[in-house]
């Protein structure tokens, strides 16, 4: 009856049922598994742009629109309340990008921190690294299963132990929560270090002139 309704033969219907999934369908299934893993790891706070960035960091060659489509089809949305967005936005805009005005003309004037993904065996881990902007030297690193403040604090404390920086140090990073968390900010403040962060795109100065 359904075959008659949709204008297909019974043999054609059963042939379609036996047909294996297409290469694109299998690829989408693999990508969705990775998207769900990233989405869950970050406590459902990542939307499609950040999930896309995480996939690219893992070596996946995929367009942002495809990530957004897969997340939309499977109802994976970033769960961040408007009040939380407002409070966090106000915090981030209060921290200037000091590395734009401070010249790193000697070691231990400006440190830069970052987090990336690293494959260890068949498992993915988070790697936090601290560089000296003047020398480009790796000062310290830490690797963990989770991307949180304990990861970045571990790298920071190791760098402090090795270098014993002066209070005038500028520490620059992106606006990740692992750098904005209170324990991290408190550690920098206790050393007399000034925190610096990338600015939101909407607040970056116009440098075209």
**Average of per-residue pLDDT across 162-172:** 91
Whether 191 has a pLDDT exceeding 80, the answer reads yes
Q: What is the pLDDT, as a whole number, of residue 158?
A: 96
Bigger pLDDT: 163 vs 9? 163
**Average of per-residue pLDDT across 22-35:** 85
Asked if 152 contacts 113 with a C-beta cutoff of 8 angstroms, the reply is yes
**Average of per-residue pLDDT across 150-171:** 93
Q: Distances in Å between the alpha carbon of 170 and those of 134, 147, 199?
A: 12, 23, 15
Bigger pLDDT: 160 vs 207? 160
- Kindly report, residue by residue over 102-158, the tens digit of the pLDDT: 678 899 999 999 999 888 888 889 999 999 999 999 999 999 988 889 999 999 999
Give the integer Cα–Cα distance in Å for 163 and 157: 10
Bigger pLDDT: 164 vs 59? 164
In the chain, residues under CATH classification 3.30.420.10 are: 96-203
Bigger pLDDT: 134 vs 2? 134
What does CATH list as the number for 96-203?
3.30.420.10
Q: What is the pLDDT, as a whole number, of residue 205?
A: 39
Asked if 106 contacts 134 with a C-beta cutoff of 8 angstroms, the reply is yes
- Kindly report, residue by residue over 37-96, the tens digit of the pLDDT: 888 888 788 888 888 888 887 788 888 899 999 999 988 988 764 444 444 444 555 676
pTM above 0.75, yes or no: no
Bigger pLDDT: 100 vs 75? 75
Q: Kindly indicate the confidence band of residue 177, based on its pLDDT and cuts at 50, 70 and 90.
A: confident
Q: Where are the beta strands (DSSP E) in 133-192?
A: 138-144, 170-173
Bigger pLDDT: 150 vs 11? 150
**Average of per-residue pLDDT across 23-43:** 86
């Amino acid at each position: 009856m359904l075959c008659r309704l949709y204008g297909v033969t019974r043999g054609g219907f059963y042939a379609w049922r036996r047909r294996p999934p297409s290469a694109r369908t299998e690829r989408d299934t693999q990508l969705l598994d990775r998207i769900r893993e990233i989405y869950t790891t970050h406590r459902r706070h990542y939307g499609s742009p950040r999930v896309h960035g995480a996939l690219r960091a893992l070596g996946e060659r995929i367009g942002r629109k495809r990530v957004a489509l897969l997340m939309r089809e499977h109802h994976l949305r970033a769960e961040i309340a408007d009040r939380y967005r407002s409070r966090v936005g106000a915090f981030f805009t209060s921290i200037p990008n000091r590395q734009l005005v401070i010249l790193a003309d000697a070691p231990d004037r400006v440190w830069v921190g970052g987090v990336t993904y690293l494959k260890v065996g068949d498992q993915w881990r988070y790697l936090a690294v601290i560089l000296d902007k003047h020398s480009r030297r790796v000062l310290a690193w830490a690797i963990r299963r989770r991307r949180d403040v304990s990861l970045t604090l571990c790298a920071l404390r190791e760098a402090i132990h090795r270098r014993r920086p002066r209070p005038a140090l500028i520490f620059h990073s992106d606006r990740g929560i692992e750098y904005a968390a209170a324990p991290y900010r408190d550690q920098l403040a206790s050393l007399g270090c000034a925190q610096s962060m990338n600015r939101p795109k909407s607040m970056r100065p116009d440098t075209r002139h």
